[in-house]
Amino acid sequence: MPSLSELAEPMLRLAGYRVNPRTNGPHTTPGLSRITIRNISDGTEHAFDAPRETSLGSPTFSPDGSRLLFLLTRYNGIEAWMMEVSTGQARPLSDTSINAVWGNPCNWLDDNATVVCRFKASARGAPPDAPDVPAQPNVQSHGGGAAPIRTYQDLLGNAHDEALFEYFFTTQVGTIGLATG
């Protein structure tokens, strides 16, 4: 269950997605506080505890199982991290914030040494401001009775919603070589 502080975070409703504008990720996430790797053959364990006021998520093993990629969500952004399964050593992979508003933002390549991630666009600037006066009235009507078509939540309703969608969903795809960062 999300904490009250997580529920109190700002939320944008854009095209069916609930976006936290501070982190550039989903509004609520099933965050983990610890990742533990246990070697079944000898019983040894290696653990990584989330720093205070952060959460961990999206753990994904490399194709050969030697490394674990995961996301660390802070108050103002999301970082990609990697843990060596054999030693439990964990480190951040990049100092650039991840764009995690939809889907899994990072994936392993088959070489076990490269990760492809969606990053926040580097030159995107500040989010678009809401207009002081709407360009047109927001008119919705319903004739009553049953609605024979499916309804969707959080549709883009105006030009400002469209600008916010473009701002938060525009990504910069990049690779991270684990040897070079």
* Position 133 confidence tier, pLDDT thresholds 50, 70, 90: confident
Secondary structure of residue 87 in the 3-state scheme? coil
Write down the pLDDT at residue 21: 95
Residue with structure tokens 């006066």? 133
CA atoms within 13 A on the CB side of 56: 21
Question: Which pair of tokens denotes residue 67?
Answer: 């490394």
* CATH class of domain segment(s) 4-124+163-177: mainly beta
Tell me the average pLDDT across 136-161.
77
Q: What is the mean pLDDT of the chain?
A: 89
* Position 157 confidence tier, pLDDT thresholds 50, 70, 90: confident
Those residues whose C-beta lies under 8 Å from the C-beta of residue 110, and which sit 6 or more positions away, are 63
Q: How far apart are CA 6 and CA 21, in angstroms?
A: 13
pLDDT digits (tens, 9 = 90+) for 44-103: 999 999 998 889 999 999 999 999 999 999 999 999 999 999 999 999 999 899 999 999
Max Cα distance, the chain (Å):
68
Write down the pLDDT at residue 79: 96
Q: How many helices (H) and strands (E) does the chain have?
A: 2, 12
The continuous run of DSSP H or E covering 82 comes out as: strand 77-84
Strands (E), 85-168: 90-92, 106-108, 114-120
Domain boundaries, the chain: 4-124+163-177
pLDDT digits (tens, 9 = 90+) for 20-51: 999 999 988 777 899 999 989 999 999 999 99
Write down the pLDDT at residue 162: 96
5-14, 151-160, 164-173: range with highest mean pLDDT: 164-173
Write down the pLDDT at residue 92: 96
| pTM exceeds 0.75 | yes
**Phi and psi angles of residue 33, each rounded to the nearest 5 degrees, phi first:** -105, -15
What is the distance, to the nearest Å, from the Cα of residue 181 to the centroid of all Cα atoms in its chain? 20
